[in-house]
Structure 1
Amino acid sequence: MAGERLRFDGWIAGVGTASGTRLVVGHWPRSPFGSFSDVMVEHPDGVRVLLAPSGRIAEFVAATYRFDRIEVVPVAVTGIRTLWRVEAGPLSLRLRAGSPSALGRLLSAVPAPLVRSPHWAALCDVPARLLLPGVRTLGRAGPGRREWYGARGLRPVVAADAVLDGVDLGPLAPLDPPVAFGFGSAPRTPSLVRVTTTVELGATAP
């Protein structure tokens, strides 16, 4: 049986760094919480930190994903498209995305109703895992929650500079090992993904 569905429309940027710290930035201009951004940080030792802009958003995200520590801090994402500037409490991140990949151009042609459908997400799950190791498009997300992703575009991230707690994290690197916030990871190749994410509350379907 389907439960209440909350839809988030925006972008996910996933990058690795030479230090081993991996970063996943969500920027959501349209969501049930209004426009907001958040950052998930996984340190080389596996410690997972959420940087969220409010207690309400932190509570929702922490009930959907797994973290070892949560920090409520100002989070701002500016620039968008190919040049991003992210300021999130102790984190300062700049990244530059390249032109859409062939897969990205294909994804941009998918009709919006399909992007929002869990059936489409289930159909895409196996090819996504084959083409983008670590990526899943449908799965369980916290107790009583189901989540699915509908990608609408894909660009490679070609450059990034990140400073966390005053320490330079080093040059751009693959997102490896995969992050462990939820049932799937962002792509191993640093990427900027245009996406519609749906979280279903009280889901009883497998």
Structure 2
Amino acid sequence: MRFEGLIAGVGTSSGRRVVAGLWTRSPLGRFGDVMVEDASGHRILLAPGDEVAELVSATYRFDEVRIVPVRWRVTAERAEVQAGDLRLRLELGPRSALGRLLRLQPRRLATSTRWLALLDPVARLLVRGAATAGTAGGGRREYYGVTDARSIRSLEAGDATGSWGRLVPLSPPPRFGFASTPSAPTIVRVTTTITSPSDGVSSRSRR
């Protein structure tokens, strides 16, 4: 299974850490999902339907899953996400140093599962919490092929309880899966590939 789109990761001064997936192409079509970990460590998935919720919750770890409408829009200047009563408005900055480096990779290489398995130890050393290969549960493997990255300059976030506060680093890394987005608020362009044992792809990675 291959998913192409964007992942945005931000921290808020209220202690919430948010990872939003904005998928333009996938086996489930175009959709968005939002993962939130609050200051107490409670992890919530906001998904637009049962099929998305089932796949994502089988791949990542959550304490609660909510089915809510998820809408998103991305322009050159901003990304806006609405998931139930949650609102996110991200003002986008320039391409980061990481993004400039990532764009030097040929796209076919950058999304190759074999290359990502080899790259994984280096990615873990270079970016805290990052990884390019790991477990997806049920004997499956997951690979993150990141091809671009931009900084996030500012944030408006809140829900029915009120504002979630100002933009801060995504630290500590949220505990949804084997990897996190960079601690500096960032939006990345990514191709995520999930393989099963029958696909014949093997690699070694730490969870």
TM-score normalised by structure 1 residue count: 0.93
Runs of 5+ consecutive residues of structure 1 not aligned to the other structure? 1-5
Aligned-partner Cα distance in 2 for 1:12–1:202: 26
Residue 115 of structure 1: aligned partner? 110
Residue 150 of structure 2: aligned partner? 155
Asked if 1 retains the 8 angstrom alpha-carbon contact of 2:111 and 2:146, the reply is no
Q: Residue 143 of structure 1: CA displacement?
A: 1.8
The percentage of counterpart residues that share the same residue type is 50
- Give yes or no for the alignment of 1:132 onto 2:127: yes
Residue 141 of structure 2: aligned partner? 146
- Give yes or no for the alignment of 1:190 onto 2:190: no
Deviations, residues 111-150 of structure 1 (Å, cap 9, x unaligned): 2211221221123222222221011110011121110101
Q: Residue 107 of structure 1: CA displacement?
A: 1.1
Give the count of matched residue pairs.
Answer: 201
Aligned-partner Cα distance in 2 for 1:202–1:58: 22
Q: Residue 168 of structure 1: CA displacement?
A: 0.6
Residue 38 of structure 1: aligned partner? 33
Residue 194 of structure 2: aligned partner? 199
Residue 168 of structure 1: aligned partner? 163
Aligned-partner Cα distance in 2 for 1:56–1:167: 30
TM-score normalised by structure 2 residue count: 0.92
Aligned-partner Cα distance in 2 for 1:10–1:129: 22
Residue 12 of structure 2: aligned partner? 17
Which amino acid in 1 is paired with 2:50?
G
Which range moved further: 79-88 or 93-102? 79-88
Runs of 5+ consecutive residues of structure 2 not aligned to the other structure? none
Deviations, residues 79-119 of structure 1 (Å, cap 9, x unaligned): 34430111001210100111101220221232221122122
Deviations, residues 38-60 of structure 1 (Å, cap 9, x unaligned): 00000111110000011001000
Deviations, residues 157-184 of structure 1 (Å, cap 9, x unaligned): 1101100233211000011110100011
Aligned-partner Cα distance in 2 for 1:165–1:123: 44
- Give yes or no for the alignment of 1:75 onto 2:70: yes
Asked if 2 retains the 8 angstrom alpha-carbon contact of 1:49 and 1:67, the reply is yes
